[in-house]
Amino acid sequence: LPTCANMRRGLRWLLDGAQAGDQLFFAYSGHGAQVADATSDEDDGQDECLCPFDCVAPGGWPKNLIIDDELNDLFTNQLPEGVKCLCIYDCCHSASMEDLSCTFKTRTDTGVVKAVSNPRDIKGRYMAPPEHAQRDLAVVKEKQQTQDAKPRKVAESTGGGGKKLVVISGCQDNQTSADATINGKRQGALTWALMKALMEHDYSMSYDDLLVAVRANLRA
């Protein structure tokens, strides 16, 4: 089961023994959420997070969440020099899941999934936090509406180096990713669009071309 412990064990396994020349791949398709920032390192006061199977167990929130700070440490600080890594987050609030120093968007408008058996079947992958967490977020959002509110800030670039981390996200931090029955199969919209693009190009294309093809698939 994708419990927090099992997911963390898998992440450690992925990085364990990685050395220059290796290419790593991590994909997450599931629920995403936001929690009040407990370390005061986010100017918007919110951390993005992955929601493992047991995060809704008694006492599991936020103990069993995987926060963006943890992912940033794993895939940025602990990624060995000379290693390339691709991470895909098909979940809500995922734009800055890695807190990278730069972002790339193909266009500013939003895509709509049309290859569904029933348009009403499209649902967000948002997982509502428990009441105590929602109260914490409400305080953060109220503070952000004051004159002292600051824009979202991502990690500073450490400059150069042989490591390379690429992240593809399903939506912006203030958006939810779509989950739908596409071609008769229940799946995440981003995951479907990625697989379709890769298969149509025989799994050989640049990241830029992949992003353009994914957006085109979502809008087709």
Answer whether 24's CB lies under 8 Å from 86's CB.
yes
132 is a catalytic site residue: no
Answer whether 1's CB lies under 8 Å from 55's CB.
no
Catalytic residue among 49, 51, 87, 92: 92
Question: Could you tell me if residue 130 is left (phi over 0), alpha (psi between -120 and 50 degrees) or otherwise beta?
Answer: beta
In the chain, how long is the greatest CA-to-CA distance?
A: 51
β-bridge pairing 66-67 and 32-36: unpaired
Residue in 49, 30, 53 with CA at minimum distance from that of residue 38: 49
CA distance 11 to 49: 15
Q: Which residues of 170-181 are buried (b: 16+ CB within 10 A; e: fewer)?
A: bbbbebbbbbbe
Catalytic residue among 31, 49, 85, 171: 31
SS3 sequence, 86-150?
Answer: EEEEECCCCCCCCCCCCCCCCCCCCCCCCCECCHHHCEECECCCCHHHHHHHHHHHHHHCCCCCC
93 is a catalytic site residue: no
Catalytic residues: 31, 92
